[in-house]
């Protein structure tokens, strides 16, 4: 375990800084300050009521975007400490990575993207950056949270070229082919470790996937056998948890080992060299293949389960109808979202911001308020 940062770790003192210059914090590093700003913002609190896979009210034990983000931060910090990377930065990126998600999970994002197709589209990574750069209203001197360059570039995981041209420095790597910091690369893979494993747990808990099905997945079956050898006859939820925690551990250890080797082989000695190198945070080929098989299993058996499809279909209807009503009659929007004298395109973007910011239950409430005659 490391107490000092590696030379290739991001350092608060050499951050590329904030869009609006601010005096340094007295008691915190710049990345700690970013993390604190994220935890205190409104979009972070809304994560509690946004769907990961299961709609928020379907059960109290399922992951929400908030608990998902906390799990990502936990996994990312454990790995960061082992690689002597900057824990504060991975924590800030992890906690902010899903801030731009719409209500109703991926179904909501796809529906909003369809609505916005002729108006620049909608993409949750870009929206996460928009939340922290523009939409949060907490400071007298600027819009957004004014986070450091490194946290912002970590939030922006993907970016199409046309958007990258508009965003400038923070998106330059999508045009030049460079890499972000190792902390950003790490937060991305911690996200994958978190959702693959908690979706098994939630999928089994919901009954949408069965134990017989999941044992077809090599990674699960291997650790399930190990659990049986240690605790013969163990069953039920304890067997699932003992198996899933071994899987998480195996993925984390593989990532630490493989990334250590890749960093050593690349010989990087600074963040600039990391940026010019190939991606260095990675699973071994064997573990990558097993993780991909697990992802495929979840896609086929959970994310495309007919009951999940029904939820997605209802979500699409809610988002589509909200969007078309607000577009046809912007006077139905709360005053802060009505653009007086702005362009029609700017009004569409405002509507997308309003819908994307909704929690699942707020979106359903808005839907009822607009369309349910019983509510009149």
Nearest distance, CB of residue 69 and Mg ion, angstroms: 7
Choose between 187 and 268: whose C-beta lies nearer to Mg ion: 187
Q: Find the part of the chain contacting Mg ion (CB under 5 A) among 20-28, 95-103, 121-129, 182-190.
A: 95-103
Instruction: Considering only residues 334 through 363, tell me which ones interact with Mg ion, judged by CB under 5 A.
Output: none
Nearer to Mg ion, 67 or 213 (CB): 67
Please return the burial class of 24, using the count of CB atoms within 10 Å of its CB with bins 0-12, 13-18 and 19+.
Answer: exposed
Question: Taking the complex as a whole, how short is the minimal distance between the CB of residue 97 and Mg ion, in angstroms?
Answer: 5
Structure tokens given for 88: 């504060």
Of 208-267, binders to Mg ion (CB under 5 A) are: none
CB of 194 to Mg ion, least distance (A): 7
Total residues at interface with Mg ion (CB under 5 A): 2
The residue sitting closest to Mg ion, measured at its beta carbon, is 191
* Binders in 97-136 for Mg ion, by CB under 5 A: 98
In angstroms, rounded to a whole number, what is the distance separating the alpha carbons of residues 164 and 351?
22
State the Cα–Cα distance between residues 254 and 194, nearest whole angstrom. Answer: 15
> Where does residue 69 rank: exposed (0-12), middle (13-18), buried (19+ CB within 10 A)?
buried
CA-nearest of 206, 197, 183 to 55 is 206
Contact 80, 92 (CB under 8 A): no
Please pick, from the candidates 191, 202, 290, 353, the single residue that binds Mg ion as defined by CB under 5 A.
191
Nearest approach, Cβ of 74 to Mg ion (angstroms)?
13
The conformation of residue 215, written as its DSSP 8-state character, comes to T
Shortest spacing between CB 59 and Mg ion, in angstroms? 20
When the beta carbons of 76 and 208 are compared against Mg ion, the nearer one is 76
Beta bridge partners of 148: 18
Query: Three-state DSSP class for 206?
Result: helix
For residues 320-350, one letter each, b for 16 or more C-beta atoms within 10 angstroms of the residue's C-beta and e for the rest, the string is eebbebbbeebeebeeebebeeeeeeebbbb
Beta carbon nearer to Mg ion, 360 or 366: 360
Taking the least distance from each CB to Mg ion, the nearer of 34 and 98 is 98
Instruction: Name which of 198 and 224 has its Cβ closer to Mg ion.
Output: 198
Q: Which residue has the tokens 């994560």?
A: 47
CB of 18 to Mg ion, least distance (A): 24
**Choices 29-37, 96-104, 211-219, 275-283 (CB under 5 A): range interacting with Mg ion:** 96-104
Q: How far is the CB of 73 from Mg ion (least distance, A)?
A: 11
User: Using CA atoms, how far apart are residues 156 and 152, in angstroms rounded to an integer?
Assistant: 6
**Please, which residue, 105 or 330, has the CB nearer to Mg ion?**
105
Contacting residues toward Mg ion, per CB under 5 A = 98, 191
């Amino acid at each position: 375990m490391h107490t000092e940062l590696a030379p290739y770790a991001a350092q608060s003192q050499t951050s590329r800084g904030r869009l609006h210059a601010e005096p340094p914090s007295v008691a915190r590093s710049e990345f700690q300050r970013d993390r604190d700003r994220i935890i205190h913002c409104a979009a972070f609190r809304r994560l509690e009521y946004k769907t990961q896979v299961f709609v928020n009210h379907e059960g109290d034990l399922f992951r929400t975007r908030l608990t998902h983000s906390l799990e990502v931060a936990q996994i990312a910090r454990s790995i960061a400490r082992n690689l002597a990377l900057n824990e504060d930065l991975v924590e800030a990126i992890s906690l902010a990575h899903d801030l731009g998600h719409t209500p109703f999970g991926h179904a909501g994002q796809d529906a909003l993207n369809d609505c916005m197709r002729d108006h620049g589209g909608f993409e949750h990574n870009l929206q996460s950056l928009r939340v922290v750069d523009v939409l949060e209203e907490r400071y007298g001197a600027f819009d957004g949270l004014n986070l450091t360059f490194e946290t912002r570039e970590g939030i922006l995981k993907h970016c199409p070229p046309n958007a990258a041209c508009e965003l400038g420095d923070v998106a330059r790597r999508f045009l030049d082919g460079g890499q972000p910091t190792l902390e950003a690369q790490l937060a991305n893979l911690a996200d994958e470790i978190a959702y693959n494993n908690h979706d098994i747990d939630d999928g089994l808990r919901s009954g949408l996937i069965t134990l017989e099905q999941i044992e077809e997945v090599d990674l699960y079956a291997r650790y399930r056998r190990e659990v049986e050898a240690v605790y013969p006859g163990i069953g039920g939820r304890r067997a699932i948890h003992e198996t899933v925690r071994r899987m998480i551990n195996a993925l984390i250890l593989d990532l630490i080992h493989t990334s250590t080797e890749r960093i050593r082989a690349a010989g990087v000695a600074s963040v600039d060299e990391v940026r010019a190198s190939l991606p260095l945070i990675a699973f071994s080929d064997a573990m990558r293949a097993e993780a991909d098989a697990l992802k495929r299993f979840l896609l086929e058996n959970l994310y495309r389960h007919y009951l999940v499809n029904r939820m997605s279909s209802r979500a699409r209807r809610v988002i589509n109808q909200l969007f078309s009503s607000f577009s046809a009659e912007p006077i139905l929007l709360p005053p802060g979202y009505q653009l007086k004298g702005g362009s029609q395109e700017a009004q569409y973007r405002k509507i997308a911001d309003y819908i994307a910011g909704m929690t699942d239950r707020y979106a359903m409430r808005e839907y009822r308020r607009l369309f349910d005659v019983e509510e009149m």
